[in-house]
């Protein structure tokens, strides 16, 4: 039994030794695994970011502006790099953080120094500007005082000179407007009167009586003012009168032209009618379309437009009438009797009209004034049963168009 | 076996961190110190130059309290090591912001005054021109004979005193 216990102890002892040896072997294995040749682990992202930050252009500012801060950050970076190289990632991370913070502190301090330098520079600029402000303010006050003094002196001298001139002028001649000025204004007044009188050509005194009379009154007032020697008032009144004169002309002109046209028309109508009625052998009618001069029995009976030999004298007189009233357009209308083929009467009547037109053209009348037309036997003036009646129906009517 | 156990215990004793009885209190005290610093810095950052970094510090302090509560002294020690430079960064950023603000105000004042000086210089030049014209008028009037034959006597202002422009103007 004791032997058995002893064996068991020996067995346990051997087993413990085996476990110890196994642990030692594992430790050696791990150490061997970690030996150089396996290389560092992947670089931490924070360390990569730090290196990127150190590569920025700002780093140069930090290096020059804050060398101590930069040295501290750089030291931490080297430790971080070494820790990473030694695969100590915790230390690498800590040193990376410390280096990053140191870098940013150094950068902020650099910027603070730059701002303080700018503050000092602007302070100097401010002092200089304040000095200039004082200088210019004083200079302006000094010059302004001299300007004020000179202005006052000049004004006084000017005033005295004016007073002396007035006194001299008073001594030389009595006060009042000069003869030249008066004469000039009188001429203006005469011209204004002439212009007002000229408006009577368009009957402004009738068709724009209000303005015409106002202009006339103003001219009367201007004359009074001239007489009183008030030239300024006279000039103003003359200007008003000129305005009213022009307005009176403008207002009267269209009314005058319309009434003048009517008057001329009435006169022409009357003269034409009187002249036409003086021609023996024609019938004259005043119709709305114009003055109608009818010449009967000027064509020989038959189907041809043959002028009767004894009627040329009558046609000559009518032609003279057409020539005299050259401004009026003329229509020559032909009419037949009821004899001959019915279907040819209208054509025959047109031939009557055209024959008379051709005769007029021979007399030198402008063709552009004349139009012709034929009505056949549709508008008889006498019975067609008798030869005398048919002779009267074979006629031409010359219409002088008045409107 | 006993020998192996003793060796193992010795290794463990060497490898395990030494727990200091006063370490917790010390770390807690550090956290409180940093909290007070945070409050001070927050009150100083009127210009809000370091808002982001103050938030970082606040979050790290929160994390530190959690580590203290969870009894993780090693992690807490690593974190506390970073808090001091974080505080320094905030201080630097606040100082930078204040300096830049002061510089901006100063620059604005200097710019305004420069403009005013330019305006004043122009005004002075115009006045000098006006003075020259007036002096010329006064002299010509003084030289013109009066209707009575005498010569006018408009007093001409005394010649301009030679003013010395500040050197900086040039």
pTM exceeds 0.80, yes or no: no
- Give the pLDDT of residue A9: 53
Alpha carbon distance B44, B50 (integer Å): 10
Portion 46-105 of B in contact with A at CB < 8 A = 78, 81-82, 85-86, 88-89, 92-93, 95-96, 99-100, 102-103
Cβ of A25 under 8 Å from any chain B Cβ? no
Alpha carbon distance A238, B122 (integer Å): 50
Per the rule left: phi > 0, alpha: psi between -120 and 50, beta: everything else, A169 is alpha
pLDDT at A47 over 60: yes
- Give the pLDDT of residue B3: 60
Cβ of A312 under 8 Å from any chain B Cβ? no
Task: Verify whether the Cβ–Cβ distance A147 to B165 is below 8 Å.
Answer: no
Chain A residues closer than 8 Å to B109 by CB: 122, 126
- What the block records as the tokens of A108 is 């902020």
- Give the pLDDT of residue B140: 84
Spans of chain B below 70 pLDDT = 1-21, 144-170
Sorting pLDDT into bands at 50, 70 and 90, what band is A370?
very high
Which pairing describes strands A370-374 and A330-335: parallel, antiparallel, or unpaired?
A: parallel
- Whether A383 contacts A389, CB under 8 Å: yes
Mean pLDDT (whole number) for A239-245: 92
Alpha carbon distance A170, A45 (integer Å): 108
Task: Verify whether the Cβ–Cβ distance B78 to A105 is below 8 Å.
Answer: no
Strand partners, A291: A286, A400
| Residue that wins the pLDDT comparison between B167 and A293 | A293
Give B94→chain A minimum CA distance, Å. 9
Percent helix, strand and coil across chain A, each rounded to 5? 75, 10, 20
Apex A228 CA angle, A227 and A232, nearest 5: 100
Per the rule left: phi > 0, alpha: psi between -120 and 50, beta: everything else, A35 is beta
- Give the pLDDT of residue A11: 55
Please state, in angstroms and as integers, the Cα–Cα distance from residue A79 to each residue in A73, A75, A122, A290, B19, following that order: 10, 6, 42, 129, 27
- Give the pLDDT of residue B75: 93
Three-state SS letters, A245-262: HHHHHHHHHHHHHHHHHH
- Whether B60 contacts B79, CB under 8 Å: yes
Helix (H, G, I), strand (E, B) or coil at B125: helix
Choose the closest CB to B106 out of A94, A105, A122.
A122
Task: Verify whether the Cβ–Cβ distance A136 to B121 is below 8 Å.
Answer: yes
Which pairing describes strands A290-296 and A370-374: parallel, antiparallel, or unpaired?
A: unpaired
Alpha carbon distance B84, A24 (integer Å): 42
Averaged pLDDT of chain A:
87
Backbone angles phi, psi at A333, to 5 degrees: -110, 130
pLDDT at A12 over 50: yes
- Give the pLDDT of residue A311: 87
Chain A residues closer than 8 Å to B90 by CB: none
- Give the pLDDT of residue B71: 93
- Of A118, A134, A141, A143, which Cα lies nearest the Cα of B169? A134
- Whether B55 contacts B89, CB under 8 Å: no
Task: Verify whether the Cβ–Cβ distance B113 to A118 is below 8 Å.
Answer: no
- Of A398, A360, A400, which Cα lies nearest the Cα of A283? A398
- Whether A103 contacts A95, CB under 8 Å: no
- Give the pLDDT of residue B15: 46
Cβ of A139 under 8 Å from any chain B Cβ? yes
Q: In this predicted model, what pLDDT tens digit does every residue of A110-149 receive, in sequence order? A: 999 999 999 999 999 999 999 999 999 999 999 999 999 9
Q: In this predicted model, what pLDDT tens digit does every residue of A178-225 receive, in sequence order? A: 788 888 888 999 999 999 999 998 889 988 899 999 999 999 999 988
Q: From B123, which residue of chain A is nearest by alpha-carbon distance?
A: A140
pLDDT at A334 over 50: yes
Chain A residues closer than 8 Å to B86 by CB: 101
pLDDT at A37 over 80: no
Query: Sign of torsion, CA A276 A281 A287 A290?
Result: negative
Task: Verify whether the Cβ–Cβ distance B138 to A147 is below 8 Å.
Answer: no
- What the block records as the tokens of B169 is 């103007």
- Give the pLDDT of residue A301: 84
Task: Verify whether the Cβ–Cβ distance A140 to B163 is below 8 Å.
Answer: no
Q: Say what the ipTM of the complex is.
A: 0.72
Cβ of B11 under 8 Å from any chain A Cβ? no
């Amino acid at each position: 039994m004791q032997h058995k216990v002893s064996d068991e102890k020996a067995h346990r002892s051997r087993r413990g030794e085996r476990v110890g040896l196994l642990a030692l072997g594992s430790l050696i294995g791990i150490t061997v695994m970690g030996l150089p040749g396996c290389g560092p682990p992947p670089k931490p992202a924070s360390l990569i970011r730090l290196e990127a930050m150190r590569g920025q252009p700002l780093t140069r500012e930090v290096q020059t502006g804050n060398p101590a801060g930069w040295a501290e950050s750089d030291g931490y970076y080297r430790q971080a790099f070494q820790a990473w190289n030694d695969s100590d990632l915790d230390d690498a991370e800590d040193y990376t953080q410390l280096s990053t913070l140191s870098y940013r502190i150094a950068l902020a301090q650099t910027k603070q120094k730059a701002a303080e330098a700018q503050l000092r520079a602007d302070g100097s600029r401010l002092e200089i500007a304040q000095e200039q402000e004082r200088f210019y303010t004083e200079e302006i006050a000094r010059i302004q005082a001299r300007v004020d003094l000179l202005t006052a002196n000049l004004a006084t001298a000017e005033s005295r000179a004016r007073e002396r001139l007035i006194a001299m002028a008073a001594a030389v001649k009595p006060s009042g407007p000069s003869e030249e000025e008066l004469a000039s204004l009188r001429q203006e007044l005469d011209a204004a009167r002439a212009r007002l009188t000229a408006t009577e050509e368009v009957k402004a005194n009738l068709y724009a009586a209000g303005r015409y009379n106002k202009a006339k009154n103003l001219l009367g007032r201007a004359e009074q003012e001239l007489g009183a020697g008030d030239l300024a008032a006279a000039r103003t009144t003359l200007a008003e009168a000129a305005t009213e004169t022009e307005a009176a002309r403008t207002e009267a002109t269209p009314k005058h032209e319309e009434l003048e046209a009517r008057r001329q028309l009435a006169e022409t109508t009357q003269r034409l009618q009187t002249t036409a009625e003086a021609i023996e052998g024609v019938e004259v009618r005043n119709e709305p379309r114009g003055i109608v001069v009818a010449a009967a029995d000027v064509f020989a009976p038959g189907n041809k437009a043959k002028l009767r030999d004894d009627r040329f004298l009558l046609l000559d007189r009518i032609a003279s009438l057409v020539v005299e009233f050259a401004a009026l357009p003329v229509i020559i209308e032909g009419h037949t009797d009821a004899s001959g083929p019915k279907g040819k009467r209208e054509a025959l009547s047109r031939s009557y009209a055209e024959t008379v037109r051709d005769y007029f053209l021979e007399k030198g009348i402008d063709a552009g004034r004349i139009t012709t037309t034929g009505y056949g036997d549709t508008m008889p003036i006498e019975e067609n049963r008798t030869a005398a009646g048919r002779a009267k129906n074979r006629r031409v009517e010359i219409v002088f168009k008045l409107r | 076996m006993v020998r192996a156990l003793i060796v193992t215990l010795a290794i463990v004793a060497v490898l395990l961190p030494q727990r200091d009885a006063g370490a917790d209190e010390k770390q807690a005290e550090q956290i409180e110190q940093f909290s007070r610093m945070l409050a001070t810095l927050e009150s100083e950052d009127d210009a809000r130059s370091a808002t982001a970094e103050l938030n970082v510090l606040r979050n790290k302090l929160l994390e530190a309290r959690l580590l203290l509560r969870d009894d993780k002294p090693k992690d807490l020690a690593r974190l506390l090591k970073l808090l001091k430079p974080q505080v320094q960064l905030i201080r630097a950023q606040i100082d930078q912001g204040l300096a830049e603000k002061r510089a901006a105000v100063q620059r604005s004042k200097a710019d305004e005054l420069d403009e005013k000086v330019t305006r004043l210089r122009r005004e002075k030049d115009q006045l000098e021109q006006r003075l020259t014209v007036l002096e010329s008028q006064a002299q010509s009037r003084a030289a013109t004979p009066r209707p009575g034959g005498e010569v006018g006597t408009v007093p001409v202002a005394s010649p301009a005193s030679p003013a010395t422009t500040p050197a900086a103007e040039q």
